[in-house]
Structure 1
Amino acid sequence: MSAVGPKLRREAREAYERLRTYFLVAVQAGVAAGLSWFVASSLLHNPQPLFAPAAAVGTIAAAIGNRIRRTAELLAGVSLGVLAGDLIIEVIGAGPWQTGLVVALAISVAVVFRGSGAVMVQAGSTAVLLGTVSPAGPDLAIPRTANAVIGGGVAVMVALLILPLNPVRVVHRAAGPTLDLFAHQLTVASEALARGDVDRAEAVLQRLRAAEVERRQTTEIVAAAREVAMLSPWRWRRRALLRRYEHAAEHLELAFTNSRNMVRRMVSLLEAREPVPPDLPAAIEHFGQALRLLHRDFLAGRTPDIARARAMEAAGEAQRARTAGLGFSGTIVVSQVSIVVSELLQASGLPKGEADRTAGLHARR
């Protein structure tokens, strides 16, 4: 029962952070849905306005960092569906098998033109709509196309002009919990290594694998922030800072992947009962601290000298552990420490060559 409380608190905290990060997206979707319905129904008197808010919500929520591309895909898919539906139904009429044929043709055309999954979905759904309406029924091709234009256009306007997110604040909120989780698990891993606790090290590995979802969400948020900073005139002044974040995010993603590989090899080290010099767990702990310090430096807008110093300390400890004597898996763990330190130093702004030398990669080659 004692373990339930901390777990529930952690899950509640993570849920709160997710809500805080995505709340503006929910508000954008609601505003875009209502506005697109108003435009389609009240201003343009579209007899089938439902698809306009659906298209707006799909553009806002389904492609957070690629709204312009999502709108283009939406229009391309609808156009292909209308083209295939109108051409075929005029000849063979409407019905179950006609609908199946039209959908297959629409998706095939999308594939020929190298359309994405979103293009194929829109082409197929538009073909279904047209295929279920008899030739004597209302013409839905034009309203469907108009609704796609309205929904996509309104969504882009809301996301970039009416309610643009603050790119720097959103990245801070998204990256902070992810980096804290990452750094905390490295601390736990270093303790497990120092104590020879295989089960705890395995638990860290499973948690890092599960955290892949959070990492992907952070990448998505960074892409959304980049899009807003590039396209929203209200956020142009944030472009230089966002480029810095993008550069850091690329290297931190690689650091995350290599850290997970490092922990997997650490489990093998413990299972094989290989020697563990004290400097090895210390190196892992100090690398985790460097991650936290890097995020704090970014928040404060200062040069990450403290984070770099802690990462260099981790690299030095890893090399001393190598000198003290390691087994096969231990040697690989040290190599992984050097790689993740180099990625962190590059995230902090150091050139690759300097980062590799500082992390000890060139020395080993």
Structure 2
Amino acid sequence: MARNTFSQRMRSARTDLASRSRLGMSRVRAGFFQSIQITVAAVGAYFLAEVLLRHHQPLFAATAAIVSLGYVSGGNHMRRILEVAIGCTLGIAVGDSLMYFLGRGPLQAFAVLLVSLLLARFLDNGTIFSTQMGLQAVLVVLLPPAIDGPFARSLDAVVGGLCALVIMALVPQDPRRQPKDQMIQLTREFSRVLREASEAIGNYDATLAWHALARARKTQPTLDSIESSLKTSKSLAKVALTRRQALDDVRAYERALQGFDYSIRNARVLVRRIANVITTVHLRDEAIRSLRDVLLELSEAVDVLGLSLKAESTDARDAMLRRARIDLSSVAAKLDPQLLGVRTYQGEALVMIIRPLTVDLLVMTGMDQRAAGNVLATIRQELTEAIDIVDPEEPQDTDS
């Protein structure tokens, strides 16, 4: 028994180690280009300060470059670089200034740190800005005085910050890469949601429907992450001199993300409704087959949208979007309960949820909202039966 327990623990440890190794390697691949940027900026700043300014061991130049670039994902990347660069430079400048006038010692260190933090809060409410300003000021106080003069470290920090900004502008990472990869992953998950929903209605299995709903709900963190990545990508594309052409692609990703957001929200409602219908009623076999096929076709169209994101050229992307538009238009043209063989209110409700979902996907292919709505099949009769209202005061006809 003890041997079996030990073997299970060893297998679990190996599995955990393999998982952590894969995760670590994925982080290395994702941050490889940024690691090169940081290295080039830090080494370049050090040697520029040493050669041009003739400073001895200008460590603060390299430090400022490293902390300015850093490993950032999400938020406004350029704002973050500016905050760190300015905070780092100001912290060193404040420390140099106060030490020049106050001298060295524990009380002076207390005064330098307090003044630096208060000044940082006065200038900006950013946490990064305040932290860097206070940290660099403390380092100035604690380290031995610079042999190059009282404000040599401040100049080194300026050089480091400028090197970081130049590297970002001239040798930027591709701002499209991260949101593109994330959106491809999102299309893959969304397609699985629709495919699982198709299997759920086809097999009339409520458990499969609830699994599809759980998968659909798990896409929300990815949606939020892509939104954050797009903010970063837009700021990078605007400042990068060699990546200006990527700005249009980033804006196209923003429009696509909005479509995905609307579509996935509708898909969640749809899948939950499917689970309830399966649990409460049994649709006609024709309706089940039709709804299964419609959802499967939507899943395949989402796969084509994912291929359009992978396309390396504009022509290839446009070709994939046209194909997705044709496939979705074919689905939209038959979204009439009567055409699908749906006769019950529960089935009609499913069709009415699929209709706006299909419109959202059509908009993602480049159609405008009105044109996409016009592609939908015209519902040929009222979904609810008309009931005559009887006035209780009006005399009723009676059979003679």
TM-score normalized by structure 2? 0.66
Kindly report which structure 2 residues correspond to 1:16-165, keeping only aligned pairs within 5 A, or say none: 22-40=31-49, 43-44=52-53, 45=55, 46=58, 48-49=60-61, 51-58=63-70, 61-63=71-73, 66-75=76-85, 77-78=87-88, 93-94=107-108, 102=115, 105-106=118-119, 108-109=121-122, 115=125, 119-130=126-137, 138=145, 146=155, 149-162=158-171, 164-165=172-173
2:60 match: secondary structure: coil
Indicate the residue corresponding to 1:295 in structure 2. Answer: 306
Offset at 1:191? 0.8
CA distance in 1, matches of 2:235, 2:186: 21
Indicate the residue corresponding to 2:393 in structure 1. Answer: none
- Length, aligned pairs only: 347
- Cα deviation 1:260-307 (Å, max 9, x = unaligned): 443344444445457483233333322221111123345213242221
Identify which range, 310-319 or 292-301, moves more after superposition: 310-319
- Cα deviation 1:130-156 (Å, max 9, x = unaligned): 357659974899667656544443333
Indicate the residue corresponding to 2:295 in structure 1. Answer: 284
Indicate the residue corresponding to 2:396 in structure 1. Answer: none
Unaligned runs of 5+ in 2: 1-11, 383-400
Q: What amino acid does structure 1 have at the position aligned with 2:256?
A: A
CA distance in 1, matches of 2:153, 2:279: 61
CA distance in 2, matches of 1:136, 1:173: 44
CA distance in 2, matches of 1:203, 1:350: 32
Q: What amino acid does structure 2 have at the position aligned with 1:194?
A: G
Q: CA 1:12–1:71 in structure 2 vs 1: closer, same or farther (change >3 Å)?
A: closer
CA distance in 2, matches of 1:15, 1:108: 36
Q: Does 1:305 align with 2:322?
A: yes
2:191 match: secondary structure: helix
CA distance in 2, matches of 1:15, 1:134: 37
Indicate the residue corresponding to 2:391 in structure 1. Answer: none
Alpha carbons 1:282, 1:314 under 8 Å: kept: no
Alpha carbons 2:196, 2:212 under 8 Å: kept: yes
Q: Structure 1 vs Structure 2: percent identity of aligned residues? A: 22
Corresponding residue to 1:185 among 185, 193, 198: 193
1:324 match: secondary structure: coil
Q: CA 1:335–1:108 in structure 2 vs 1: closer, same or farther (change >3 Å)?
A: farther
CA distance in 1, matches of 2:293, 2:204: 14
Offset at 1:221? 4.7
2:243 match: secondary structure: helix
Q: CA 1:124–1:21 in structure 2 vs 1: closer, same or farther (change >3 Å)?
A: closer
Corresponding residue to 1:325 among 319, 340, 344: 344
Alpha carbons 1:78, 1:126 under 8 Å: kept: yes
TM-score normalized by structure 1? 0.71
Alpha carbons 1:315, 1:341 under 8 Å: kept: yes
Q: CA 1:309–1:126 in structure 2 vs 1: closer, same or farther (change >3 Å)?
A: same
1:234 match: secondary structure: coil
Offset at 1:192? 2.0
- Cα deviation 1:23-74 (Å, max 9, x = unaligned): 433433443344344445665433534532432332xx21567333222332
Corresponding residue to 1:247 among 255, 262, 267: 255
1:48 match: secondary structure: helix
Write 1 or 2 for the structure with the bigger share of helix.
1
Larger radius of gyration: 2
Indicate the residue corresponding to 1:350 in structure 2. Answer: 367
Identify which range, 244-253 or 265-274, moves more after superposition: 265-274
CA distance in 2, matches of 1:359, 1:209: 27
Q: CA 1:68–1:169 in structure 2 vs 1: closer, same or farther (change >3 Å)?
A: closer
